[in-house]
């Protein structure tokens, strides 16, 4: 009773690593959806999205249109922030720390330093510790994930191949990251030095994984997911949540598909529910085979 702090002169600290990673923890088990208009953002929230990614063009259109893809217009991001109550994320170009500064000033909840946009720096990623807003970064393998974490990323998403509607690359990247985590936990001390060298990743992070068996930050999956089954596949492979980009709003009937993907992500191990929610969703986005694409977005990032 006497302990109750009514006159808490509180030691409030914001922007800590725990606070930044904490929001990623809250998004686990959910679906983050790409949206390009406030109307789409409402559809996403109504379907049960845990967050929306506000961008000007979905990756399928960026791929089709070509040219330089940049941070979205602040007006468009603000329009989306106004209509939804869930967190709003937005993308900055790799290495473009000023776009990130602008996104932080706009009050977005998470910045995605994304290979889907045209990179601004071919050697350096953003120093993400310099920001109060948390960052998510893509990775194709564990080394890339750990380099991003060492720069301050608070969430990792496997890259997949955005805008293709083809899950094959997402599976490859998830298996690579999670497989190497498993192998590291079986390694002895001397082998950890070799892991650090071969993955080009900081040794202390490798040693930490050997001990905990887990990535330091939540691991989500992105890039090419188009169906409820794709989302459940990513979750069963070990992803902790999913991003769906073009897969929803490039399909014939986005709202029911968005809902179905949300339910599939929650019930990813229940085949009965997966069968039920997969019914009658109309045509998914057409999708592209990997042999037919000119630009591999996942190769961007260093």
Partner 1 sequence: MTSTDKPTHRVGVLALQGAFARHVESLTRCGADAFEVRTPEQLAACDALVIPGGESTTMAMLLDRLELRTPLAERLNDGLPVFGTCAGMILLAKEIADGRPDQVPFDVIDIDVRRNGYGRQINSFEADIAVEGLDGSSFRAVFIRAPVVTRVGAEVDVLAEVDGDPVMCRSGHVSVVSFHPELTDDDRLHRLFLDRL
What residues are labeled active site?
Answer: 91
Q: Binders of partner 1 among 11-30, rule CB under 8 A?
A: 11-16, 18-19, 22-23, 25-30
**Residue nearer to partner 1 on the CB measure, 253 or 269:** 269
Kindly state whether residue 272 participates in binding partner 1, applying the rule CB under 8 A.
no
What are the CA-CA distances from residue 300 to residues 162, 266, 297 (Å)? 12, 31, 6
114: part of which helix (H) or strand (E)?
strand 110-114
**Residue nearer to partner 1 on the CB measure, 16 or 198:** 16
Kindly state whether residue 43 participates in binding partner 1, applying the rule CB under 8 A.
no
Q: Binders of partner 1 among 93-122, rule CB under 8 A?
A: 104, 107-110
Question: What is the rounded CA–CA span in Å between residue 245 and residue 69?
Answer: 15
**Residue nearer to partner 1 on the CB measure, 47 or 297:** 47
Question: Binding segment for partner 1 among 6-14, 136-144, 193-201, 229-237 (CB under 8 A)?
Answer: 6-14
Kindly state whether residue 48 participates in binding partner 1, applying the rule CB under 8 A.
yes
Kindly state whether residue 262 participates in binding partner 1, applying the rule CB under 8 A.
yes
**Residue nearer to partner 1 on the CB measure, 11 or 186:** 11
Instruction: Give yes or no for a contact between 135 and 152, defined as CB atoms under 8 angstroms apart.
Output: yes
Give me the count of residues in the chain. 302
**Residue in 116, 133, 146, 174 binding partner 1, rule: CB under 8 A:** 133
Question: What is the rounded CA–CA span in Å between residue 120 and residue 60?
Answer: 20
Supply φ then ψ for residue 97, to 5 degrees: -70, -20
CB 136 to partner 1: min, Å: 12
Q: List CB contacts of 103: < 8 A, sequence separation 6 or more.
A: 71, 77, 90, 92, 111, 133
Nearest to 222 by CA among 267, 295, 173, 260: 173
Site string for partner 1, 174-213 (x = CB under 8 A): ----------------------------------------
Q: List CB contacts of 21: < 8 A, sequence separation 6 or more.
A: 134, 154, 155, 217, 218
* Contact positions vs partner 1 (CB under 8 A): 1, 3-6, 8, 10-16, 18-19, 22-23, 25-30, 45, 48-51, 85-87, 104, 107-110, 132-134, 259, 262-263, 265-267, 270
């Amino acid at each position: 009773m006497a302990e109750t702090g009514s006159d808490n002169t509180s030691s409030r600290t914001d922007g800590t690593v725990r606070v930044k990673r904490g929001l990623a923890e809250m998004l686990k088990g959910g679906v983050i959806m790409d949206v390009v208009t406030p109307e789409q953002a409402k559809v996403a929230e109504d379907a049960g999205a845990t967050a929306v990614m506000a961008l000007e063009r979905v990756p399928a259109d960026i791929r089709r249109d070509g040219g330089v893809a940049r941070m979205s217009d602040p007006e468009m991001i603000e329009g989306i922030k106004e209509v939804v109550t869930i967190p709003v994320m937005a993308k900055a170009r790799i290495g473009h720390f000023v776009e990130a500064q602008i996104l932080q000033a706009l009050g977005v909840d998470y910045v995605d330093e994304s290979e889907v946009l045209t990179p601004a720096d071919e050697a350096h990623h953003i120093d993400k510790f310099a920001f109060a807003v948390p960052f998510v970064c893509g990775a194709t393998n564990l080394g890339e994930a750990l380099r991003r974490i060492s720069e301050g990323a608070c969430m990792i998403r496997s890259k997949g191949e955005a805008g293709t509607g083809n899950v094959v690359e997402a599976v490859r990247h998830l298996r690579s990251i999670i497989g190497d985590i498993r192998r590291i936990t079986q390694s002895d001390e001397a082998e950890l030095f070799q892991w650090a060298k071969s993955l080009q990743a900081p040794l202390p992070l490798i040693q930490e994984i050997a001990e905990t068996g887990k990535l330091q930050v939540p691991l989500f999956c992105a890039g090419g997911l188009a169906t409820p089954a794709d989302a459940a596949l990513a979750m069963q492979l070990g992803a902790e949540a999913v991003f769906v980009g073009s897969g929803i709003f490039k399909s014939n009937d986005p709202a029911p598909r968005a809902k179905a993907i949300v339910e599939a992500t929650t019930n990813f191990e229940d085949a009965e529910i997966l069968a039920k929610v997969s019914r009658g969703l109309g045509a998914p986005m057409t999708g592209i085979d990997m042999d037919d694409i000119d630009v591999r977005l996942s190769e961007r990032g260093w």
